[in-house]
Amino acid sequence: MDTEALRWFQLVCDGMTVTEVAHVHQVSQPAVSRSLARLEAEVGTPLLQKAGRLLRPTYAGAVFKRHVDALIHRLDDGLAALTELTDPRTGTVAVAFQLSLGTFLVPGMIESFREEYPRVRFRLEQSHDALGSSMVAGGRIDLEFTSRRPRNPAVRWERLFAQPLFLAVPRRHRLARRREVSLADAAEEDFVMLRPSWELRTLSEQLCADAGFEPRVAFEVDDLPVVHGFVAAGLGVAIVPATEGEPQPVGAAAALVRLTDAGAFRDIGVAWSRERRLLPSAELFRRHVLALKGGRMPTATA
C-alpha cells in the first residue's frame, strides 16, 4: 500500500482539497485523485464522498482514518529514530567494556569524543576478560574494549596500548614500600587470583612459571575489585593491572608495586564485527579510538 496515498488520504479527511494537497506536495491534481482511487480499490470500499468542493470521509473512511493515523505516526517515529541512528551527530553507540577499564579508559574516550560530537549518546554494558566469545559477535554491541583477543574470525581486535601489571600487597606488607619488585620475591606468598576462565589468570600463572615457581592460590574470586578487597584485608597478594592516572578501587587499602618481570603487562584493545557495518556514529567513535592508539590514552577529567 502506497504510504504517500495514505498521507494524502489523511489530509483530505482533515479538510484539505485535492488541489491543496497537490500544491503542497508539488504533484498534479490528477495524480492525487488517481492515488486516492487506487487506495479505495485496494481497501475494497468507498472511503471518500463529495461534499461541495470538499471530499469528506464515508463511515468506512472515518473508521479507516483512525488506523491510518496510528500507522503514519508509528512510521514517522520509526523514520525519525532511523535518522537519529544514521546521523553521526545524533546517533547512539553501543559499547561494552571490562569493569577495570570503566574507571579511566572508557570515560576518557567518550569525553574526548563528545567534545566534537556532543549529541551522540552511548549505551554501555559491562563485560569481562573471562575466556569466551566477544560481545560484538552477536550484533547488539558496536565496540568492545577488552584485553581478550577474540578467537572468532568474524571479530576484529585492534591493540590500543600495553597496560602494566603490578603486585598488589597489603599496606603493611614487607614489599609495600618498594617501587618495583620481581615476582620471584613473592614466591612464598599466598595469592588471590581470578578464576581459571579469566585470561588474566592464565597470564599470571605464566608469569609465575617464568619466575620459577607455581603460585599458592589461597582464594579464587570473580572480578578485580574483589581481588583488591581480599588483598587489602591481608588475605594474600595479587597480580593486577593498573595505569598511571587510573583511580584505585573505592576503599582500597592495598599498595601497588610495579613488576619488573619481562611480559608483565596485558594488551588492551578494541573489538568490532567484521561482518556487520557500523552505523555512522559508531564508525566515527571507532576511528576516534584508533586515532589515539599507541599514544597516551585519555582519562576522564574530574
Give the pTM: 0.69
What are the φ/ψ torsions at residue 60 (nearest 5 degrees)? -65, -40
Measured distance between the N- and C-terminal CA atoms of the chain, rounded to whole angstroms: 55
The pLDDT assigned to 252 comes to 56
Pairwise CA distance, residues 224 & 13, whole Å = 64
Question: How many residues appear in the chain?
Answer: 302
Locus of grid cell 570503566: 102
Domain extents in the chain: 3-86, 92-160+269-291, 162-265
Assign a CATH topology to domain 3-86.
Answer: Arc Repressor Mutant, subunit A (1.10.10)
Ramachandran sector of residue 262 (left: φ over 0; alpha: ψ -120 to 50; beta: rest): beta
Contact call for residues 14 and 55 (beta carbons, < 8 A): no
The pLDDT assigned to 271 comes to 94
Q: Is 264 helix (H, G, I), strand (E, B) or coil?
A: coil
Contact call for residues 147 and 255 (beta carbons, < 8 A): no
Under DSSP, the state recorded for 100 is: G
In the predicted model, residues of the chain with pLDDT beneath 50 are: 247, 250-251, 302
> Which ranges constitute the DSSP H helices of the chain?
3-13, 18-25, 29-43, 59-86, 105-114, 199-210, 224-232, 280-291
The pLDDT assigned to 223 comes to 85
The pLDDT assigned to 138 comes to 67
Q: DSSP E strands: which ranges in 213-253?
A: 216-221, 238-241
Hey, do 3-86 and 92-160+269-291 end up sharing a CATH topology, with the first three levels equal? no
pLDDT digits (tens, 9 = 90+) for 90-104: 888 999 998 888 888
Contacts of 135 by beta carbon, 8 Å cutoff, 6+ apart: 96, 125, 127, 141, 144
Q: Of 3.30.420.40, 3.40.190.10, 3.30.390.30, 3.40.50.720, which CATH number belongs to 92-160+269-291?
A: 3.40.190.10
Average pLDDT over all residues of the chain: 87
User: What are 66's three cell numbers?
Assistant: 483512525
> How would CATH label the architecture of 162-265?
3-Layer(aba) Sandwich (3.40)
What are the φ/ψ torsions at residue 167 (nearest 5 degrees)? -95, 115
The pLDDT assigned to 250 comes to 47
User: What are 216's three cell numbers?
Assistant: 599458592
Locus of grid cell 525519525: 80
